[in-house]
């Protein structure tokens, strides 16, 4: 039987798991709780890729191990069943004779995918699944997308005016939102594996794409620059973080390409399609490099290109209470929507105020 207390304990697992944001990728964020006679006797989370899993930390935090044999273990993601960098958590739960396990969602990793739960049930453990499942799936949206789609989870981050404009007619966009919203962008960057921008934005905004206003690690910086026109002394190539450039195959062997090589800047050459570089190929390459989550800080064209290619998962729209008017740059270049029934469909997620601005989350519907 599941109770309301089970949902409360799972909510705590999610809270704990979030503490691993920015340091566990390419592993998932996982939190775990051990409860005996209604009291929490142990808590833990996965702190670092390669480090002990959440269940191991929660079990280790229990001061009286004799209580484990009458406790419930809560975990937001199915316990693993394979030997990776650490031994299987399902085996540890069985060994410690924990009789009841409550799981938020299954692990889509083909090495696990239901096997962890099966192993526990085969050993007589009572396993309950699907507690706060939607929240648990959302928590690990990047990990899940990576395993189910073979590409990073893509979030488009846009700062726009109330009338949907991201820059004035001459391309000026600094600043549309206030300092609180901009600080939140820096926090977001620190939780994503990579941040991507197009050459146009990198040149016009002299974008650095680093984490500056908050504590946190810098993500990999990714620049789409078909013709290698961004100078290699631009701020985006500062020594703060690595920068990966994607360019058109036709640029291979050019003087620009050898200048990049001399500077130690890595360039990956990909196919061109109408509108620019082949975004699917870019994402496949990032997936190969263990990039699970990608924050796209795009202008009009790049945002539209990701949407038209069906490669955007989430929209992070910072809206400022300002108007720029119709001569300014719209958030999205043409999307070829011919009738209202053909609109790109999204579903609202959370919204939050940052100073005078609002962050609206929305999920692209398949
Ligand atoms: N308010 C905001 O949130 C925000 C955010 C970012 C930018 N901006 C503003 O947006 C403006 C730039 O927007 P934009 O539309 O000109 O440029 P953009 O969308 O930022 O970037 C487009 C550039 O990306 C490169 N690219 C490579 N592959 C592409 C593909 N498949 N599809 C589309 N682009 C591809 C192209 O450069 P190459 O052809 O050289 O490869 C293209 O010039 C600037 O004024 C900037 O200040 C505002």
Last residue of a domain, one of 143, 176, 191: 143
Predicted TM-score (pTM) of the model is 0.94
For position 269, what pLDDT does the model report? 98
| Rg of the chain over all Cα atoms, to the nearest angstrom | 23
238 marked among binding-site residues: no
205 marked among binding-site residues: yes
Last residue of a domain, one of 125, 143, 161: 143
Last residue of a domain, one of 104, 122, 143: 143
Give yes or no: residues 126 and 204 share one domain: no
Spacing, Cα 252 to ligand 1 middle (Å): 22
Provide the CA 277 distance to its chain's centre, in angstroms: 22
- What number of other Cβ atoms are within 10 A of residue 355's Cβ? 14
Q: Tally the domains of the chain.
A: 2
For the chain, report the end-to-end CA distance as a whole number of angstroms.
34
Give yes or no: residues 357 and 222 share one domain: yes
Give yes or no: residues 161 and 130 share one domain: no
Spacing, Cα 298 to ligand 1 middle (Å): 6
User: Which range marks the domain in which residue 77 is found?
Assistant: 4-143
Spacing, Cα 227 to ligand 1 middle (Å): 14
43 is a catalytic site residue: no
Tokens of 324: 């720029």
Catalytic residue among 43, 55, 160, 184: 55
254 marked among binding-site residues: no
Q: Whose C-alpha lies nearest to ligand 1, atom 39? A: 226
Give yes or no: residues 289 and 166 share one domain: yes
For position 110, what pLDDT does the model report? 78
For position 109, what pLDDT does the model report? 84
Give yes or no: residues 117 and 201 share one domain: no
For position 95, what pLDDT does the model report? 87
Provide the CA 163 distance to its chain's centre, in angstroms: 28
Phi, psi of 127 (to 5 degrees): -115, 130
**Which residues does the chain have with pLDDT short of 70?**
83, 85-86
Tokens of 75: 């975990």
For position 85, what pLDDT does the model report? 67
For position 352, what pLDDT does the model report? 98
């Amino acid at each position: 039987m599941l109770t309301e207390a089970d949902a409360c304990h799972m909510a705590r697992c999610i809270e704990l798991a979030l503490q691993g944001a920015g340091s566990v990728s390419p592993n998932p964020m996982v939190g775990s709780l051990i409860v005996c006679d209604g009291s929490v006797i142990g808590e833990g989370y996965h702190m670092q890729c390669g480090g002990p899993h959440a269940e191991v930390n929660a079990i280790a935090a229990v001061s009286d191990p004799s209580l484990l044999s009458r406790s419930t273990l809560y975990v937001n993601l199915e316990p693993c069943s394979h030997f990776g960098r650490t031994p299987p958590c399902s085996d540890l739960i069985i060994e410690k004779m924990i009789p009841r396990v409550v799981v938020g969602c299954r692990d889509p990793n083909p090495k696990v995918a239901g096997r962890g739960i099966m192993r526990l049930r085969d050993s007589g453990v009572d396993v309950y699944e699907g507690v706060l499942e939607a929240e648990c799936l959302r928590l690990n949206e990047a990990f899940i997308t990576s395993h189910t789609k073979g590409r990073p989870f893509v979030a488009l981050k846009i700062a726009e005016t109330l009338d949907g404009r991201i820059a004035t007619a001459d391309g000026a966009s600094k600043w549309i939102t206030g300092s609180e919203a901009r600080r939140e962008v820096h926090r977001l960057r620190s939780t994503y594996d990579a941040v991507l921008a197009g050459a146009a934005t990198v040149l016009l905004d002299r974008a650095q794409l680093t984490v500056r206003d908050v504590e946190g690690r810098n993500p990999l910086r990714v620049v789409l620059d078909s013709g290698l026109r961004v100078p290699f002394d631009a701020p985006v190539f500062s020594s703060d973080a690595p920068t990966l450039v994607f360019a058109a195959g036709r640029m291979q062997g050019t003087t620009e390409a050898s200048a990049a090589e001399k500077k130690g800047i890595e360039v990956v050459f990909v196919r061109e399609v109408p509108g620019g570089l082949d975004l699917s190929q870019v994402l496949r390459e990032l997936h190969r490099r263990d990039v699970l989550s990608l924050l796209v800080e795009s202008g009009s064209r790049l945002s539209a290109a990701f949407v038209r290619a069906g490669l955007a998962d989430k929209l992070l729209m910072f809206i400022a209470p300002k108007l720029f008017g119709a001569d300014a740059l719209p958030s999205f270049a043409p999307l070829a929507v011919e009738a209202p029934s053909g609109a790109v469909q999204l579903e609202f997620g959370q919204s939050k105020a940052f100073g005078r601005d609002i962050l609206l989350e929305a999920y692209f519907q398949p």
